[in-house]
Amino acid sequence: MKLSIFPLLIVSIMMLAGCVEKEVIDDVNIAMGLGYDLEGDEVLGTAMIPVYKAESIENFIFSSKGNISRELVFRMRHKSGQPIVTGSLEIAFFGDKLAKKGIVSFIDAFQRDPSIGSRVYLAVVDGTAQDVLKGSYGNRGNADYFSGLFQHNEEQGNLPLTNIHQFLFDYYQNGQDPFLPLLKKRKDLVEITGLAVFKDQNMVETVSADEMFYFKLINDKFSRGTVRTEINSDEVIVRNIMSNHNMKLSGRNPWEVTVHITVNGTIQEYSGSSFMGPKEVKKVQKALEKQIEEESLKLITRLQENKVDPFGFGHFAKTRTRGFNFKKWESDYPNAKFKVKANVIIKEVGIVE
C-alpha cells in the first residue's frame, strides 16, 4: 500500500511545483534600488537595474512619473524590453522634498509586496534620489556599495539600526517617531551626513553627523561607534566597543525621565606627548562622561522643542503608567524634564600618537 501511494505523492508534488510562477534571471530586469523624488505635483520614480559585465557591474536606470509606487513601476515596464521585478530590492531612497511631504504610502506598498524583504535599507537624500542612483560607485555595483555603506556603519559606526521593518515599527508605535539615514552625494561617493527624523509620515527635523553618536547611545540597546574628546587640550579618540542604556521615570507631574548610559570603550588615538597612564585614563573617562551627558541632553532638548520623539519616551512612559493617555502626553511632552547620567569604562589603551 505504501509503495502505491509514494509514486502518487511524487506526481502531486511535481504538479504543484509546476503551478509556481517562474522567472528566469536572464529574462527579467532586476531592480536592486528604487528612488522617489517630488517633481511638481507628481512623483518621479527611478529603478536601478544592474548590468553584469565580464569584470564589473554597471547600472541602468528606468524612470517614470506618477502618484503611487505600483503605478510608477508599471509605467517603467512600458519602456523595458523585459519585466521589471523587485524581489531582490536592497535599497529605496527618497528625495528630501518628497520626504517633507510624506513617504509612508510608498513604504507601505513595499510591505504589501511579498517579494520585497523587510530588511531593505531606506534613506532620505539631501537632493534627489535619482541623482544618487545614477552615480557609479565601484565595479561591484551600486546596490553592493550602498548595502555595505549602511551595514558597516551600523555595525562599526554611529548609524543606528534602520530598515523597512524598523521604520514601520517606529511609525506605528504610539509614543515613538521614526527616522532614516540622511545621504548626500559628494563627487564620486555618497556620504551619510546625519539622520532625518519624522513626525507622522513627514520629515520635520535632522540630526547632524556629529550628533549621531549620542543619538545611537540613547536609541540602540547595544551600540558601537567612535567619539572624540579632549583632556588638557590633547585630542583623544575613543572607540565604543559596547554600550547600553536604560530609562527611569522619576516624576509624572511634570514628567521626569532620567536616561542612564553605560559605555565600555578603548582609546584608539591620543595626541598628547605624555604616556597614557591610569591618571590620564581617569581624566578621559570623566571628560567623556561629561561630554555624553551634555551633548545627549542638548540633542534630546532640541528634538523635544520640535515635538518629535525618536527615542520613544512616550512609549516608555506608557509602560510605567496605568491609564496612560497619549493625547495628553502630546501636550505634556514639550514640558517634560530629562536628565542624562553617563558611566564610561575604558577597557584598553590602544593606538596612541
CATH at residue 332: 3.30.300.210
Strands (E), 187-253: 189-199, 202-208, 225-231, 234-252
Is the domain of 310 the same as that of 225?
yes
Is the domain of 266 the same as that of 328?
yes
Is the domain of 184 the same as that of 236?
no
Is the domain of 203 the same as that of 238?
no
Residue 54 lies in a domain: yes
* DSSP H or E stretch at residue 179: strand 179-186
The CA distance from 141 to 192, in Å, is 18
Is the domain of 49 the same as that of 154?
yes
Is the domain of 138 the same as that of 57?
yes
Is the domain of 187 the same as that of 254?
no
Domain boundary among 174, 207, 240: 207
Residue 212 lies in a domain: no
Residue 16 lies in a domain: no
Is the domain of 270 the same as that of 157?
no
Q: How many domains does the chain have?
A: 2
What pLDDT, on a 0 to 100 scale, did the predictor assign at position 10?
Answer: 62
The CA distance from 353 to 67, in Å, is 56
Rg, Å, the chain Cα set: 24
Is the domain of 54 the same as that of 82?
yes
Domain boundary among 158, 181, 207: 207
Residue 11 lies in a domain: no
The CA distance from 64 to 160, in Å, is 32
Q: Cα 232 from chain centroid? A: 36
pLDDT tens, residue order, the chain (353 aa) = 444 565 656 655 555 555 444 444 456 888 899 999 999 999 999 999 888 877 778 888 888 898 877 778 778 877 777 877 887 899 999 999 999 999 998 998 888 888 888 889 999 999 999 999 998 887 788 888 999 999 999 988 899 988 999 999 999 999 999 999 999 999 889 999 999 999 988 999 999 999 999 999 999 877 778 899 998 888 999 988 888 999 999 999 899 999 999 999 999 888 877 777 888 899 999 999 999 999 999 999 999 999 999 999 999 999 999 999 999 999 999 999 999 999 999 988 865 54
Cell numbers standing for residue 56: 564589473
The CA distance from 158 to 153, in Å, is 6
Is the domain of 164 the same as that of 71?
yes
Residue 61 domain boundaries: 26-207
What pLDDT, on a 0 to 100 scale, did the predictor assign at position 23?
Answer: 45
Domain boundary among 181, 207, 233: 207
What pLDDT, on a 0 to 100 scale, did the predictor assign at position 233?
Answer: 85
Secondary-structure percent of the chain, ordered helix, strand, coil, rounded to 5? 35, 35, 30
The closest of 56, 52, 74, 53 to 65, measured between CA atoms, is: 74
Residue 191 lies in a domain: yes
Is the domain of 32 the same as that of 160?
yes
Residue 215 lies in a domain: no
Residue pair 146/122 in contact (Cβ under 8 Å)? The answer is: no
Residues 191, 196, 197, CA angle at the centre, nearest 5°? 160
Amino acid at site 172: Y
Residue 304 lies in a domain: yes
Residue 216 lies in a domain: no
> Partners of 242 in the beta sheet?
264
The CA distance from 189 to 48, in Å, is 17
Is the domain of 193 the same as that of 229?
no
